[in-house]
Amino acid sequence: MSHCHGSLRITRRGFLGTSAALTVVPSIPAILTSPVASASEPAALAFGQTGPLRSDGEYLHAAEEAARWIRSARIDKERGIAWRPDPDHPEKAVTVGPDNTIYSGSAGIVLFLQELARATGDGSYLDEALRGADYLAASWRHLLSGRSLGPLPDRGLSFDNGLAGTAFSLTETWKAVQRPAYRDAALAATQALASAVKSSGVEWVSSPGVGLGGGVVLYLLHAARTFQDNSLRELAARGGERILEMAERDPRGGLRWRGLDPQTVNARALGVPAEAYYPNFELGTAGVAYVLARLYEETRRAEFLDAAKEGARHIQSIATVEGDAALVHYREPDLTDIYYLGYCHGPAGTARLFYQLHKVTGDRQYLEWTEKLARGIVRSGVPEKLTPGYWNVVCQCCGSAAVTELFLSLWLSTGKAQYRDFALRVADQLISRESDLDGKGYRWYQAWTRVKPWEVNAETGYKIGAAGVGAALLHTHLAARGRYAAVLFPDNPFPAVERAAV
Query: Mean of the pLDDT values across residues 51-71?
Result: 87
Using 50, 70 and 90 to split pLDDT, how confident is the model at 198?
confident
User: How far is 382 from 376, CA to CA, in rounded Å?
Assistant: 10
Instruction: Judge whether 57 and 437 are in contact, CB under 8 Å.
Output: no
Percent over 70 (pLDDT), the chain = 86
Position 274 scores a pLDDT of 80
Residue 151 has pLDDT above 80, yes or no: no
Q: Which amino acid is at 39?
A: A
What crossing angle do the helices spanning 285-299 and 347-361 adopt, rounded to 10°?
Answer: 30
Position 37 scores a pLDDT of 36
User: How far is 133 from 112, CA to CA, in rounded Å?
Assistant: 12
Taking residue 366's Cβ as centre, other Cβ atoms within 10 Å add up to 20
pTM greater than 0.95: no
Instruction: Judge whether 404 and 427 are in contact, CB under 8 Å.
Output: yes
Position 154 scores a pLDDT of 85
pLDDT digits (tens, 9 = 90+) for 4-58: 443 334 333 343 443 332 222 222 222 222 333 333 333 333 455 544 567 779 9
Position 263 scores a pLDDT of 66
pLDDT digits (tens, 9 = 90+) for 91-106: 999 999 999 999 999 9
Residue 430 has pLDDT above 50, yes or no: yes
Q: Which of 35-49, 241-255, 358-372, 426-440 has the lowest mean pLDDT?
A: 35-49
Position 4 scores a pLDDT of 45
Taking residue 133's Cβ as centre, other Cβ atoms within 10 Å add up to 31
What single DSSP character describes residue 144? G
Measuring CA to CA, how many Å separate 159 from each of 48, 97, 253, 355, 432?
Answer: 36, 11, 30, 21, 31
Position 268 scores a pLDDT of 66
What does the radius of gyration of the chain's CA atoms come to, in whole angstroms?
21
Using 50, 70 and 90 to split pLDDT, how confident is the model at 214?
very high
Q: Which of 121-135, 270-284, 297-311, 382-396 has the lowest mean pLDDT?
A: 270-284
Residue 337 has pLDDT above 80, yes or no: yes
Half-sphere exposure of 476 (CA within 13 A, CB side): 41
Instruction: Judge whether 349 and 287 are in contact, CB under 8 Å.
Output: yes
What's the mean per-residue pLDDT of the chain? Answer: 89
189 vs 45: which has the higher pLDDT: 189
Residue 475, H or E segment: helix 466-480
Position 53 scores a pLDDT of 60
Query: Mean of the pLDDT values across residues 463-473?
Result: 98
Question: Would strands 255-256 and 320-322 be described as parallel, antiparallel, or unpaired?
Answer: unpaired
Position 152 scores a pLDDT of 79
Measuring CA to CA, how many Å separate 274 from each of 155, 258, 265, 285?
Answer: 21, 11, 9, 17
Query: Mean of the pLDDT values across residues 334-349?
Result: 97
Residue 295, H or E segment: helix 285-299
